[in-house]
Amino acid sequence: MKGDWPIYATIILGAVQIVMTVVCMLIVDRAGRRILLLLGMIGMSVFSFGLAITRVIGEKENLDWLNYLTVVCAVAYIVFFSIGPGAIPWLITSELFESSARGKATSIAVFVNWFSNFIVTVTFPFIEAGIGSYSFIIFGVLLIVFSLFMLFFVPETKGKSIDQVVAMFERKFIFFPKGE
């Protein structure tokens, strides 16, 4: 059974992601999109650092029990991903743009999402080969940067019309031309 734990961990991660995506669907209209995005990103950052710590210590000290704590960190990471960045961007993109631009904006957002996933998938093995388990620190720091971006630039769209969202951008950014 000792060698089978990665298989069970993968099953647990998949099940948790499904359950938490359903939870997100149920709470998104009550909690709001922006708060779920921020909560998700900050939680993912915390547990990225947790993954780095448990893996680094586990490798140096050769403590088998830390494998289970690593799985707990990975599950918590998936929980926060599923209630925030896993689901909300697909919803909020359509709420940020008028119908004339919605198709193009969504296409760009989907491209950026999948291209980013591709970049992470391709570069992670090289990063991990170079710096080992410290690679999760890079992701934790990037998640903090992305959280700050969202804090300052992504508006709450819950219960707002597209005109209200556009007005928020017009007040916040001088480069956003009026009437376009």
Distance in angstroms (rounded) separating the CA atoms of residues 22 and 125: 31
The helix or strand, by DSSP H or E, that contains position 72, with its residue range, turns out to be helix 65-83
pLDDT at 2: 61
Report the SS3 class of residue 107. helix
Averaged pLDDT score across all residues of the chain: 86
pLDDT at 49: 97
Q: How far is CA 59 from the centre of its chain?
A: 27
Between the alpha carbon of residue 138 and those of residues 18, 46, 102, 117, 142, the distances in Å are: 27, 12, 33, 15, 6
Give pLDDT tens digits for 84-143: 888 888 888 888 888 888 889 889 988 988 898 899 999 999 999 999 889 999 999 999
If 0-12 CB within 10 Å is exposed, 13-18 middle and 19+ buried, where does residue 41 land? buried
174 has pLDDT over 50: no
Under DSSP, the state recorded for 97 is S
178 has pLDDT over 60: no
Distance in angstroms (rounded) separating the CA atoms of residues 115 and 134: 23
CB 170 within 8 A of CB 178: yes
Between the alpha carbon of residue 154 and those of residues 103, 148, 169, the distances in Å are: 19, 10, 9
